[in-house]
Structures are given as C-alpha cells and as structure tokens.
Amino acid sequence: MRNVSIDPYEHLPRSVVVATNDYPAGLTFPAHAHARGQFALASRGMITVSTPEGRWFVPPQRACWVPAGVTHEMTMSGPVTMLNTFVTPEASASAGLPAECCVYAVSPLLRQLLDYAIDLPPMYDEDARDGKLMALLLAEIAAMPRLMLHAPLPADARLAKVCRNVFASPSMALDLDAVAAMASMSRRTFTRHFREETGVSFAQWRHQVCLMAALERLSDGQSVTRVAFDLGYGSPSAFTAAFRRVLGDAPSRYLTDLP
C-alpha cells in the first residue's frame, strides 16, 4: 500500500478519486469535514466514526460513508489500512448516495475496483477506460447494502451524557432505572424522551452499542466467552444468538469470513 495525501483531491477536477493510507493504532483525527463525500473502507483494522448525531463502527472489509460537509472524528482501532474514495457532492447526489452517515458492506467487485483505482493517476482520462471504471466504482458503492452498526446520539445534553457513559463502559446489564436517574429523569420520562430523540428504545440502543464494542474486542483477539460475560450477556450462546440476529453470522466467523 502507498500513503497518499488527501489534500490535493478536495478541488481536483474529477468526480471520484481514490487514495490509500496506513495509520497507527489509536490515532484519532479530530473533528473535521471534507468538501467531498468520503467512502472509507477499513481494509485492515477497524474505524470508529463519530459525529454530533451518533457513532458508527466500521469492521474490517466494511466501509463508512460520510457525506460532504459533515463534521466527524475518526479513530483507529488497531493498525488501520484505509482506502478512501472521495466523491463530489454532485456525483454523490447523482448516484443516490445518502445525506447521512452509514456503514456499508463491500462486495468482492467493489474491492477489486478500489484496488485498481488506487494506482490511477489523479487526472485520469474520464472518457477512456479508467473513467468508465471509476463510474462503475461509484455505482457499486451506491448499490452496497447498509449495515446496522450505528448508535445515534441524542441532542438533549442529559441523554447525551448517559450515552457517552455507555460508550465508555458498555454493558447489557445496565439498568433502566439507573440510567434514568443518571439523566435526572423518571423512568417514564427518560424512556419517552430517549425514543423521541433516537428513534429506538434505550434497550435497543444499548444492544447496538454492546455489539459494536464486541466487534472491537473480538478483533483484538478476545474470546467469545470473555466478550460475552464482560458485556453483561447471560451466556456465550445468548451473545452469539444476538450477534447473529443483527449481523447475520456467528461472532467467531464474522471477522474471518471477509469478502
């Protein structure tokens, strides 16, 4: 892999540009935004993307879409090789890419197109074969299925404080009365406001955060049993069933059965 500065691509007269970079474990890019949309594939390692609206977790061989102008932070879990596709707002809209962040699966075809694109000159010929392949790459990005690896962050400061505490110490054992008290709300008020602000119940949100934390810990080499008990699941089999229900595969296979 080669490291490529992304700065020159912000105003390059090409709709789609691909670059690749290697980053050390623990590196965080503080809040920033791009003039182009960013499709960030975690070729190696994991990426966490945070905005004022929530947090997205990107396992290996999956990708996160960050629309142009969206302020976000990126943190590397383990050494990361990232393949970035930068897309102008006009091309993003034409392809039907969403106006909000999301995590995507990555097909074998898309991965092959990205591997080809990183070796193209920045000013590739849009009317020749290279330009047609880049157009296909963008169409393939837009066709990828979304993955449920998102935990929204409420705008209410009291609820957001609770959520940040859960991000720091995720557990399925968190009691609803305890988190309501943390927000200085009654159980009923907390439940109602949380759903109004996030679109999901606190139990659903907590489950999502725990699955995201599980992915990170599994990628670090922790056992399924240890992860299950550390995150408050009743048993490894209960954790495996919950993991499979949301992510479509057993935790022991999810990080190895990559495209």
Give the pLDDT of residue 258: 47
Q: Which of the pair, 220 or 68, is modelled with greater confidence?
A: 68
Q: Looking at residues 85-111, what average pLDDT do you find?
A: 96
Question: Does pLDDT of 240 surpass 60?
Answer: yes
Reported confidence tier of residue 1, pLDDT bands at 50, 70, 90: very low
> Mean pLDDT for the chain?
91
User: How far apart are alpha carbons 125 and 134 in whole angstroms?
Assistant: 10
Give the orientation angle of helix 202-219 with respect to helix 236-247, to 10 degrees: 100
SS3 of residue 66 by DSSP: strand
User: How far apart are alpha carbons 158 and 165 in whole angstroms?
Assistant: 11
Reported confidence tier of residue 259, pLDDT bands at 50, 70, 90: very low
**Cα within 13 Å of Cα(32), Cβ side:** 11
For 100, other C-beta atoms within 10 Å of its C-beta total 12
For 149, other C-beta atoms within 10 Å of its C-beta total 23
- Cβ atoms 183, 191 nearer than 8 A: no
Nearest to 166 by CA among 255, 231, 87: 231
Terminus-to-terminus CA distance in the chain, angstroms? 19
What is the 3-state composition of the chain as percent helix, strand, coil, each rounded to the nearest 5?
40, 25, 35
pTM: 0.86
User: How far apart are alpha carbons 132 and 103 in whole angstroms?
Assistant: 25
User: How far apart are alpha carbons 55 and 177 in whole angstroms?
Assistant: 24
